[in-house]
């Protein structure tokens, strides 16, 4: 979320899910919302029923296109060009919000200049979207009284992910769709507590509440709070750790509640990394591809067995309460982590109290200093919530942006090309994602009889035209190979994917899409390009 943070000073959904119903226009790009955020999608459908115009930009004919006023089927990896072209139209037709631009943004002149080349006609061959549709989309979005943008990994998991996020932000700024209900820039978080993990400082560059590790006064503040000297050196992002392991710079790793050996793009490489470690600790509720590589595996409690809080996409902090006891000797992650912490610190081991831990966070991050377990018993709160009597914040940036000068920053977004595009050797463009009936690496959903019954196997979606070309019938087993690996799985011949593009869900370990995907990195936020790579298909 580095992109948004840079522009607005904060990286999270600017608005609330409930507000979606009030939007007059919606732009959903790089998000298969009905399958990945089903309940947020309900609000989108509600908005459409209430008369909102819905623009869906997605290479795949995702279910939401059924409800769309306009569906832009752009080629994978061309999001920012599409968005730039929309903005080109907005300026050309004078649809921008001049007041907002003057009063609440900076860097417009240079930015506007950069858009000149991105005419719809220039974008058409690149994106595959007819120029006229780009114009339509621009008008629908810009003319709406309030319009929200909703996106997910389809925007970020690219080498130009940060650019895409900037482009999205630019579009909202250009039309003044920030700081009011039913508008904004809204990244939909893929996992239950992605927002929380970021908020809590599980990032190499910031402490809890996005306080920078390389800022001396922040460092002082936390040294005081934790009573230990702290490093001001920005740490390694996950995506660089693999390389560091292989190079032997990283010797020991502690992983909990994740399964990177299956979810990382180019898993061969990732596995190689873990294998070259001197010591690997993995903490999880099941054996996974990652625990298989561990030296120590620690059994932990599921969400139904622990006390704590989750923070969902819309910055809403909510209680998690235990319903049952953990099986066997499994323990709450908090207890385990805290014991290791205390013993490394040479302190006496005590049983941690989640409420006390949360209070400690609240004391260190002004953004939630008004939030307490006491309040969370009664309600759920959206940060910022600076004081005990503060009702929480449904949408951000009403008055100002939390940056020096309080203004939002326009960013020039040049055209970047995906690191690996189809060629004669690997003629198909593979994009990956989730399906409704499974979640992430399937460790949970594939253990649910019903879900496993409706979605038992991996598959590769391929357009009828291509199937015909390759002489493949629906259900045929095929070998799919990229420069990084090969997997075997059945085909699903479907018009959901356009010609020359194929799709594989990454839930299935027996045919792991991430054996194929590329780990090329976005230069700024170091995200891996999971959404675009080139593959070959053989019968």
- By CB under 8 A, the residues from 418 to 437 that bind another protein are 436-437
Answer yes or no whether residue 156 interacts with another protein by CB under 8 A: yes
From first CA to last CA, the distance across the chain in angstroms is: 40
Q: Looking at 91, 112, 421, 451, which residue binds another protein (CB under 8 A)?
A: 451
Residues 359 to 388 in contact with another protein, rule: CB under 8 A: 360-361, 380
Q: Looking at 103, 145, 247, 295, which residue binds another protein (CB under 8 A)?
A: 295
Of 109 and 356, nearer to another protein (C-beta) is 356
CA separation for the pair 44, 126 (Å, rounded): 29
Of 90 and 194, nearer to another protein (C-beta) is 194
CA separation for the pair 440, 506 (Å, rounded): 7
Residue 359: partners with Cβ closer than 8 Å, 6 or more residues away: 372, 373
Shortest Cβ 218–another protein spacing (Å): 12
- The H or E element that residue 374 is part of is helix 373-378
Shortest Cβ 80–another protein spacing (Å): 18
CA separation for the pair 20, 150 (Å, rounded): 10
Answer yes or no whether residue 264 interacts with another protein by CB under 8 A: yes
- The H or E element that residue 148 is part of is strand 147-151
SS3 content of the chain, % helix, strand, coil (to 5): 40, 20, 45
Answer yes or no whether residue 253 interacts with another protein by CB under 8 A: yes
Answer yes or no whether residue 191 interacts with another protein by CB under 8 A: yes
Of 447 and 539, nearer to another protein (C-beta) is 447
Residues 160 to 179 in contact with another protein, rule: CB under 8 A: none
Residues 310 to 349 in contact with another protein, rule: CB under 8 A: 310-314, 316-325, 327-334, 336-341, 343-345
Contact between 175 and 142 under an 8 Å Cβ cutoff? The reply is yes
CA separation for the pair 186, 428 (Å, rounded): 31
Backbone angles phi, psi at 176, to 5 degrees: 65, 25
Of 329 and 389, nearer to another protein (C-beta) is 329
Answer yes or no whether residue 351 interacts with another protein by CB under 8 A: no
Shortest Cβ 49–another protein spacing (Å): 7
Of 38 and 499, nearer to another protein (C-beta) is 38
Answer yes or no whether residue 14 interacts with another protein by CB under 8 A: no
Q: Which residues of 339-356 are buried (b: 16+ CB within 10 A; e: fewer)?
A: beeeeeeeeeeeebebee
Only one of the segments 142-150, 307-315, 460-468, 485-493 lies at the binding site for another protein (rule: CB under 8 A); that segment is 307-315
Answer yes or no whether residue 298 interacts with another protein by CB under 8 A: yes
Taking residues 500 to 519 in sequence order and writing x for each that binds another protein by CB under 8 A, - otherwise, the string is --------------------
Shortest Cβ 341–another protein spacing (Å): 4
SS3 298: strand
Contact between 19 and 181 under an 8 Å Cβ cutoff? The reply is yes
Q: Looking at 478, 530, 533, 535, which residue binds another protein (CB under 8 A)?
A: 530
Query: Over the Cα atoms of the chain, what is R_g?
Result: 23
Shortest Cβ 391–another protein spacing (Å): 14
Q: Which residues of 202-235 are buried (b: 16+ CB within 10 A; e: fewer)?
A: ebeebbbbbbebeeeebbeebeeeeeeeeeeeee
CA separation for the pair 511, 502 (Å, rounded): 15
Only one of the segments 117-125, 177-185, 286-294, 423-431 lies at the binding site for another protein (rule: CB under 8 A); that segment is 286-294
Greatest alpha-carbon span in the chain? 69
Residue 211: partners with Cβ closer than 8 Å, 6 or more residues away: 201, 218, 221, 222, 364, 365
SS3 83: helix
Shortest Cβ 306–another protein spacing (Å): 7
Residue 464: partners with Cβ closer than 8 Å, 6 or more residues away: 493, 494, 495
Shortest Cβ 114–another protein spacing (Å): 26
Backbone angles phi, psi at 119, to 5 degrees: -75, 155
Q: Looking at 30, 59, 184, 265, which residue binds another protein (CB under 8 A)?
A: 265
Of 115 and 213, nearer to another protein (C-beta) is 213
Taking residues 36 to 55 in sequence order and writing x for each that binds another protein by CB under 8 A, - otherwise, the string is xxxxx-x--xx--x------
Taking residues 215 to 244 in sequence order and writing x for each that binds another protein by CB under 8 A, - otherwise, the string is -------x---xxxxxx-xxxxxxx-x--x
Of 99 and 449, nearer to another protein (C-beta) is 449
């Amino acid at each position: 979320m580095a992109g948004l943070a840079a522009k607005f000073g904060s990286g999270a959904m600017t608005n609330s899910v409930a507000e979606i119903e009030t939007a007059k226009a919606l732009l959903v790009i790089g998000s298969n919302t009905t399958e990945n955020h089903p309940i947020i999608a309900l609000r989108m459908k509600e908005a459409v029923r209430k008369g909102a115009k819905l623009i869906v930009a997605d290479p795949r004919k995702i279910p939401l296109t059924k409800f769309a006023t306009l569906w832009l089927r752009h080629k994978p990896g061309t999001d920012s060009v599409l968005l730039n072209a929309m903005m080109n139209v907005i300026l050309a037709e004078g649809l921008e919000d001049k007041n907002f631009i003057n009063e609440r943004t900076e860097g417009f002149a240079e930015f506007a200049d950069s858009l000149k080349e991105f005419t719809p006609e220039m974008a058409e061959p690149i994106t595959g979207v007819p120029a006229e549709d780009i114009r339509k989309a621009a008008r629908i979005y810009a003319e709406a009284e309030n319009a929200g943008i909703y996106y997910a990994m389809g925007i970020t998991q690219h080498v130009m992910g940060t650019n895409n996020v900037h482009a999205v932000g630019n579009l909202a700024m250009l039309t003044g769709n920030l700081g009011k209900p039913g508008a904004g820039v809204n990244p939909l978080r893929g996992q239950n507590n992605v927002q929380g993990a970021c908020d809590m400082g599980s990032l190499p560059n910031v402490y809890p509440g996005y306080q920078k590790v390389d800022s001396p006064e922040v460092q002082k503040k936390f040294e005081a709070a934790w009573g230990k000297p702290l490093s001001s050196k920005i740490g390694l992002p996950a995506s660089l750790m693999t390389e560091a392991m292989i190079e032997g710079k990283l010797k020991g790793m502690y992983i909990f509640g994740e399964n990177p050996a299956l979810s990382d793009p180019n898993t061969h490489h990732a596995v190689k990394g873990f294998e070259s470690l001197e010591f690997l600790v993995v903490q999880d509720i099941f054996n996974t591809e990652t625990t298989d590589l561990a030296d120590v595996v620690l059994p932990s409690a599921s969400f139904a067995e622990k006390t704590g809080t989750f923070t969902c996409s819309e910055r809403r902090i909510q209680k998690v309460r235990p319903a049952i006891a953990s099986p066997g000797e499994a323990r709450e992650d908090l207890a385990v982590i805290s014991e290791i912490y205390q013993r490394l610190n040479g302190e006496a081991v005590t049983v941690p109290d989640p409420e006390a831990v949360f209070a400690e966070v609240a004391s260190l991050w002004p953004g939630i200093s008004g939030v307490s377990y006491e309040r969370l018993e009664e309600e759920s709160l959206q940060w910022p919530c600076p004081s005990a009597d503060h009702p929480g914040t449904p949408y951000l940036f009403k008055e100002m942006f939390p940056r020096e000068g309080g203004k939002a920053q326009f960013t020039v977004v040049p055209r970047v090309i995906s690191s690996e595009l189809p060629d004669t050797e690997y003629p198909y463009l593979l994009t990956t994602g989730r399906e409704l009936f499974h979640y992430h690496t399937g460790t949970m959903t594939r253990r649910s009889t019903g879900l496993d019954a409706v979605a038992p196997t991996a598959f590769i979606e391929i357009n009828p035209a291509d199937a015909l070309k390759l002489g493949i019938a629906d259900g045929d087993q095929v070998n799919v190979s990229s420069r990084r690996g090969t997997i075997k799985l059945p085909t699903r011949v479907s018009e959901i994917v356009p010609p020359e593009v194929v799709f594989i869900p990454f839930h299935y370990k027996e045919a792991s899409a991430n054996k194929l995907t590329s780990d090329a990195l976005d230069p700024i936020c170091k995200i891996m390009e999971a959404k675009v790579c080139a593959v070959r298909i053989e019968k």
